[in-house]
Structure 1
Amino acid sequence: MISIGLTGWGDHPTLYSTVTTARDKLFDYSGHFPIVEVDTSFYSIPNNQNIEKWCHDTPANFQFIVKAYQGITGHLRDDLPYETRNDMFQAFLQCANTFQRFGKLAMVLVQFPPWFDCTAKNVNYIRYVKEQLPDLPLAIEFRNQTWYAPQMREKTLQFLQEQSFIHTVCDEPQAGVGSVPLVPVATANKVLFRIHGRNVHGWRNSGNAHNWRKVRFLYDYNEEELQSLSSYVKQLRQQAQDVYVLFNNNSDYHAAPNAQRLKEILGLHFENLSPKQLNIFEGEF
């Protein structure tokens, strides 16, 4: 099965009805795509009340890809807002288990920072994360080229496969050690394909903390590029039972139309989506 979606549901204006409130955006989103990435969980672990609402607001077969909290991935280093590291993992585990209870957890995305390089220490930390989050489908995304260096690429993929980790394949700018090449290899029965755009300048020069997202992911894939991406999706489908594709190039709202066009190229039809809301005057005259 091939599923296509976006990172987050709150910032895609082409998907919403004119009467959609912020509270109803997920419902409208789920009328277009069967999966979504919960990116807010990277910044703060959501509470059960919000998770239960999200699960109730979406169709029975809708799936969430939940981004691991930044304290887990090492982005916060040792500056954790929890008394102990164990408390942090337990809080996130409770969050993931709530999605699982509704049958809506596709996977947990563990995205490591650019400085997380291929060392024995970091390999052991990945094993530690798995021990702390048992029985969860974990997808690993690297952002450091050393994991895919010629002498390490096969060892990295073998490690992911042996540990039953889901490989996160990335399409992103090739802008030095802090980006990774596109390696279309599945290491489990699921594979995640995250599409970040190809804005090399923005990736290298993302500006200050306030506007970096508006620069880094500013990219609109053209038809030829989308056709090429479709070939990678087909290649991954030959290796894995389920392929999850997420567009993250949304600095100027390109993610949704790019995703919809890829869906057309692949000839996909997503069933059992939420009904689309009508505009307030639609059908009145």
Structure 2
Amino acid sequence: MNILLAQLPIADAQVEINLSNMLSMIRNAPLDTDLIVFPETTLSGFPTREEIGTTGLMTRSKPIRLIQEAARKSNTAIAFGFCEQADGRAYNTALLVDGSGRIALKYRKTHLWPDTDWGVFEAGSQYAVCEIASLRVGMLICYDIEFPETARALALLDADLILVLDGNMDPYGPVHRRAVITRATENQCFAVLVNRIGEGRGLSFPGESIAVDPFGNVLVESTDGHPVGVTLDRRRIEESRKSYRYLRDRRAAPLGVERTSSEDGVANTVSVIPG
């Protein structure tokens, strides 16, 4: 699979500007690109609560239909984020549109960041995967990647590739770089993280997008603020799981908790594996 890590600047609460930049990126992508991955809230940026009415989109909104059409014309899958309005609520949502223009996957951010998400978005509660170019793909959004359980949930759905649509600001860029390497390693799958660049809402976004193989090796990363391409070979997944498989070998069925007291009266909590 050939992936374009399409990190780019985003204008907060300016859908038309962001849509224009996305369509330009799609038109100019290399012809052999299978999947273009954009950052968190690509279309909307980070809206305030007051801006949801003018910035929020439904999945049938015109900007999304235009992206679907661009995907169909280029025969390229596209992952992007936006402020979704549904059932009177707003969600920080990622869509994965396949090369036929069909919405193959929708994911709502489950772990909300205090500065940009709280008070604006509702949290999602479901994880899912779909197949793109012979790989099973799942998505996470920004803060999600800092929690091992999120990537593990996708791994349990047999994900081969985890996409992280990122809106990570300074000084936290290195946190997500370390996290995505760890998540790829512990789940023996590929992971691709794409962050926004530039300024917005008084925040600075460093880019630092990265692709990692199932061994935790960095395949490519962007250090100059430009989009970067990478090719994923699914044989690396098979190689990483040949001698051992973490999902098979783990002893995680549910942990019991045993409380004990030491001789000096200080209470300790000890997790034990039943049986």
Superposed pair shares fold, TM > 0.5: no
**Structure label with greater radius of gyration:** 2
TM range, normalised to the smaller chain?
Answer: 0.3 to 0.5
